[in-house]
Amino acid sequence: MIRRIVVMTLVTGLFVSLAGWAGPALNSLVIGSTQEPSNLCPWEGSADTKENLMGIFNIGLTFFDSEGVLQPGLATELPTEANGRLAVIRDADGQVTRQQVVWTIRDDAYWSDGVPITSDDAIFTFKVQNTTEMMVTTRAFSNLIEEIIKVDDKSFQIIYKTPNLFYANVGGSIGLARHYDIAPKHIWEPIYDQVMEAITANPENASTIIQGQFLGSSPSTGTGTVVGSGAFEFVEWQINQFIRFTRRADFFLDPPGPVANYLQEVTVRYIVAQPTLLSGIIAGEIEASDDIGLAGLDPVILKAQLGNQGVVDVTPSGFIEKLNFNLFPQCQTAVDLLLGDKRTRQAIIQAIDREDLARTVYPGASVSNSFLVAGDIGFDETLKAWEYDPAAASALLADLGWTDSDGNGILERTVDGKVIEFRLHWVATTADFRMRTGEVLLEMLADVGIKLEVENLPGSVVFSSEYLNYGSECTWRGIVEYAEGGGIGQAPADPLSNELWANDLLEVPVDAVLENTPLPENSFGGTNITGWVSAEFDQMRAEALQEFDLAKRSAIVVLMQQLYNEELPTVPLYDRSEVVTKMTGLVNYVKGTAAARTQFWNAWEWGWEQNGAVAVR
Amino acid sequence: MATYLTRRILQVIPTLFVISLLLFGLLSMKPGDPIDEMRRGNPGFTQADYDRLREFYGLDKPWYVQYWRWLGRVMHGDFGPSRQFGRPAAQYIFKYRFPNTVLLSGLSLLVAFCVAVPTGVISALRQHSSVDYVITVVNFIGVSIPIFWLGIMLIYIFAVHFRGFLPAGGLATPGVTGTWPIFVDRLEHLLLPVIALSSLQLAQWTRFMRSSMLETIQLDFVVTARSKGISERRVIFKHALRNAILPLITLVGLNVPLLFSGAILTETVFNWPGMGRAIFDAILVNDFNVAMVSLMFISLLVLTFNLLADLTYALVDPRIRYG
């Protein structure tokens, strides 16, 4: 009896184990990721993890294809002036002052439960987005919209109070998170009504009610009915483990061949530890990775580990790793080190062999010279590249009065009788590649007499506003290194929608109020954590944001990059690459360009060659 | 005994209150809040959004005000929502994490105990034999090898090298249906993490059992039992073992709460969604409510198992009585 049980267990176990290799056999795909989304609520959060996931079972009015070209998704066509869907009103100077866009949803667009997608869904989505009490992550884009009017069951008109050049980009239409624009009214309206009723009865507990009943609702937590507009429909979410989807029969975009030849099921498995994820990939349990889980791994080594069973893709991420300087005159350490003088920053960039650094710590990454990346509107390919030149760096530092008079290898200068050594505080997170960066920079800067004081802290500390925004209080005294999206591909794909280092926001002419620079006067709010003050940069940014002519806007952005490149409020190190693996035979699993920002833009085309799927990407 | 028990139970309440205050204060001292996480993930996030959300979550209030509000809700059984996952924090922990930890840690404890006791007894009875030496060496290896390294090696051997023989991690294979396949699938996913997690405990408890047994079999009452003609088996298992196992019971009792919170390395390596990892992640991403409910629960466990260990001691040893 016992022997029988053991044999049965082993046989069943073998069968179950083989299920992990069943990708092509079962026409399914298991994707591995290290980051799980918080919820499935369309109005909350738009981080990469959620964007990727939502892309499997949702589609926006438009989407970027793998070439970075915008394509209609739910919409029948892209709105343009030529087809009459885009209407702009210009003032006497030719500046666009008003803008209206008409969208029409495809007749064959249905939610995964069979309910037609209509303009009522779009209007409801905007209504929730604009509800004051509602917990939406950002209103930066929806605030550009004055109102949305229903034209008919399938068409709606968006009237902008602030012209939006990127009205057609994913998320740019209604201002929701990336990769989806419209939420299902028939699912969310009952929940919304109930929540608003509860808030009306109990306004002081609005936050608790929304967290519990809206964000905690069954469509948000995946414990109830979850419907989407995309190629796959939601099946189940085992929290901290996996989310499963199956193919819809009624999706309006077809793969390049019989649907049966393409994936019928997709499962995303969440594995927190990268080594365990990698083990699963090499063991064949995970058939593809997303563009998040394998960050920082060497693609060459990864390819060697995978051998013939898999392929490794390396694509630009659109995130630029950079050194941010403390330029606050309130921070004495930064003042002593003359970080506010651009020659210091120019010396530091020339003291760093950025090619070597990128190759060493982030294989596959390419050196960056701008705050934008290729594909961004206005990206200047001809921007001067600061070459590695330690001699020039040393000369600049000497001009600034730094000498190594005591021969200890560290530059010093004397100010009011006090000897100041060039000890530069450098802080970054504890990610492996950043810890390696600290070691590399330590050596490179030592060659020009700068002693780097390396400090690695948990990301939750580095990125906390109490730390990052308190540069004027010298919480970080020299450099903080992290990566930031240049703004490309972010809804509405406006590189300037990221407030970057603007001191002042959206006002021409620039006034004296430093709204965006964290100081005690504004409760340390704002994103200009370096404290760089450039009225010229602010002026150009404000003008560019209001420029509706792409060519003119590009010209302004080029000038902004040139100013940035000269002043170097931050030193761009490299554009981080993204490493994605996929098993041999998986076709059309292609990340879009960095502009598109998402790996999961074309789930309906994914398939196994072994099953007759045709590769078109 | 009843008086003692009542007194001990009543002591739990003020102890937990002080612990909650200390925990909340410590967590509040950590830089950052959940809004920082949102800011990082949304390049279009503005200062206005930041201020609005801080007010929404009550994070603009001083920590002691936030604690008072939290305490008020807890008195009504509401531990608040998980800011990370939107579900009630208590539900997230007790429905989605705690059972997994009970399964993994409980099984590891059971395996370690069930193997350590007989192994320790055998090692003691055959002191200085080759069996004893082998067991001793294995124990020293078990104590020396870091659990996370052992876990990684097990994954490498059984999941990577023997490709797919056992799963590389996780709780279950997605899509497996049927009672028997699910049972087998769960066992397969448990095998490697249980081996890794129980290794240290097993080694330590075996050594402990061995020492305790060696000490006990030399006592007068054992000699007396033998001299009365009682069989060796009865002498060992009815008389000696019962006394020798007492210190181990205390040790096991004190270790139980640690198993619920201290399996973070195993849970990380094997992607096992348990409480250890939940606590670690919650603290990192400033998910206060999850961190508080977890840590308070661990505190309650420590207090409870301390009491249980004392009571079990009294049960096993009739000489011990509480009043």
Q: Centre a 10 Å sphere on the Cβ of residue A14 and count the other Cβ atoms it contains.
A: 13
Looking at chain B, the number of H-run helices and the number of E-run strands are 15, 0
Q: Which of residues 133-152 of B touch A (CB under 8 A)?
A: 152
Which chain A residue lies closest to B177 (C-alpha atoms)? A16
Which chain B residue lies closest to A489 (C-alpha atoms)? B43
Which of the residues B163, B176, B187 would you substitute to probe the A interface, choosing the one with the greatest number of A C-beta atoms within 10 Å? B163
Q: Which residues of A touch B187 (CB under 8 A)?
A: 9, 13
Q: Centre a 10 Å sphere on the Cβ of residue A125 and count the other Cβ atoms it contains.
A: 25
Task: Return phi, psi of residue A485, to 5°.
Answer: -70, 135
Q: Which residues of B touch A270 (CB under 8 A)?
A: 271
What is the per-residue pLDDT for A570?
92
Asked if B176's CB is within 8 angstroms of A16's CB, the reply is yes
Most confident of A199-203, A272-276, A389-393, A405-409: A389-393
- The answer to whether the CB of A185 falls within 8 A of the CB of A149 is no
Residue of A177, A145, A180, A147 lying closest to A164 (CA atoms): A145
Written as one string, the DSSP assignment of B136-187 is HHHHHHHHHS-HHHHHHHHHIIIIIITTTSS-SS-SS-TT--SHHHHHHHHH
- Cα(A49)–Cα(A34) distance, rounded to whole angstroms? 9
Q: Does A490 touch chain B (CB under 8 A)?
A: yes
- A473-485 per-position pLDDT tens digit: 999 999 999 887 6
- The answer to whether the CB of A404 falls within 8 A of the CB of A412 is yes
pLDDT (mean) for A192-215 = 89
Sheet (strand A96-104) strand order: A86-90, A96-104, A155-160, A145-150
- Cα(A307)–Cα(A70) distance, rounded to whole angstroms? 35
Residue A160 has pLDDT above 80, yes or no: yes
Which chain B residue lies closest to A204 (C-alpha atoms)? B56
Task: For residue B254, give how far its alpha carbon lies from the nearest alpha carbon of chain A (Å).
Answer: 29
Sign of the C-alpha dihedral, residues A492, A498, A502, A503? positive
Chain centroid, CA A528 distance in Å: 18
Provide Rg for chain B, Cα atoms.
24
Q: Which residue has the higher pLDDT, A421 or A16?
A: A421
Q: pLDDT category, A435, cuts 50, 70, 90?
A: very high
Minimal Cβ distance to B160: which of A21, A273, A282: A282
Residue A505 has pLDDT above 80, yes or no: no
What is the per-residue pLDDT for B42?
61
Task: For residue A233, give how far its alpha carbon lies from the nearest alpha carbon of chain B (Å).
Answer: 15
Residue A7 has pLDDT above 80, yes or no: no
Pairing between strand A586-587 and A366-367? unpaired
Q: Which residues of B touch A525 (CB under 8 A)?
A: 47, 50-51
Minimal Cβ distance to A241: which of B35, B88, B171: B171
A82, burial (CB in 10 Å: exposed 0-12, middle 13-18, buried 19+): exposed
Minimal Cβ distance to A240: which of B30, B51, B273: B273
- A74-83 per-position pLDDT tens digit: 999 999 989 9
Q: pLDDT category, A364, cuts 50, 70, 90?
A: confident
Which chain A residue lies closest to B172 (C-alpha atoms)? A241
Task: For residue B67, give how far its alpha carbon lies from the nearest alpha carbon of chain A (Å).
Answer: 15
- The answer to whether the CB of A210 falls within 8 A of the CB of A220 is no
Question: B253: which residues sit within 8 A by CB, 6+ positions away?
Answer: B305, B306, B308, B309, B312
Written as one string, the DSSP assignment of A10-59 is HHHHHHHHHHTT-HHHHTEEEEEES---S---TTS---HHHHHHHHHH--
What is the per-residue pLDDT for A21?
44
Task: Return phi, psi of residue A28, to 5°.
Answer: -125, 170
Which chain B residue lies closest to A487 (C-alpha atoms)? B43
Q: Which residues of A touch B48 (CB under 8 A)?
A: 139
Q: Which residue has the higher pLDDT, A513 or A188?
A: A188
What is the per-residue pLDDT for A269?
94
What is the per-residue pLDDT for A152?
96
Q: Centre a 10 Å sphere on the Cβ of residue A384 and count the other Cβ atoms it contains.
A: 11
Q: CB-side exposure of A312: number of CA atoms within 13 Å?
A: 23
- The answer to whether the CB of A31 falls within 8 A of the CB of A244 is no
Long-range contacts of residues A66-69, Cβ cutoff 8 Å, at least 24 apart:
A66/A590, A66/A591, A66/A592, A66/A593, A66/A596, A66/A601, A66/A602, A66/A617, A67/A593, A68/A375, A68/A592, A68/A593, A68/A595, A68/A596
What is the per-residue pLDDT for B240?
83
Residue A136 has pLDDT above 50, yes or no: yes
What is the per-residue pLDDT for A510?
45
**Range name among A118-132, A372-386, A552-566, A593-607 with the lowest pLDDT average:** A593-607
Q: Which residues of A touch B268 (CB under 8 A)?
A: 272-273, 276
Residue A165 has pLDDT above 80, yes or no: no
Return per-residue pLDDT of chain B as tens, 323 residues.
Answer: 778 788 888 888 889 899 999 999 888 887 777 677 666 656 566 677 778 888 877 788 888 888 998 898 888 888 888 877 878 899 999 999 999 998 999 999 999 999 999 999 999 999 999 999 999 999 999 999 998 899 999 999 999 888 878 998 899 988 888 999 999 999 999 999 999 999 998 999 999 999 999 988 888 888 888 888 888 888 888 888 888 888 888 788 777 777 666 688 899 899 999 988 898 888 888 888 999 999 998 888 888 887 877 777 777 666 766 65
Q: Does B229 touch chain A (CB under 8 A)?
A: no
Minimal Cβ distance to A216: which of B87, B164, B188: B87
Asked if B188's CB is within 8 angstroms of A13's CB, the reply is yes
Asked if A465's CB is within 8 angstroms of B49's CB, the reply is no
Q: Which residue has the higher pLDDT, A525 or A104?
A: A104
Cis peptide upstream of residue A329 (ω within 30 degrees of 0): no
Q: Which residues of B touch A269 (CB under 8 A)?
A: 170, 174
What per-residue string of b and e applies to A234-254 under the rule 16 or more CB within 10 Å gives b? bbebbbbbbbbbbbbeebbbe
- Cα(A339)–Cα(A479) distance, rounded to whole angstroms? 10
Written as one string, the DSSP assignment of A504-537 is S-S-SS--S--TTS--GGGTT-SS-TT----HHH
What is the per-residue pLDDT for B320?
66
Minimal Cβ distance to B36: which of A280, A283, A464: A464
What is the per-residue pLDDT for A399?
96
Asked if A271's CB is within 8 angstroms of B169's CB, the reply is yes
Pairing between strand A265-270 and A242-247? antiparallel
Asked if B87's CB is within 8 angstroms of A280's CB, the reply is no
Which of the residues A8, A11, A16, A515 would you substitute to probe the B interface, choosing the one with the greatest number of B C-beta atoms within 10 Å? A16
- The answer to whether the CB of A592 falls within 8 A of the CB of A65 is yes
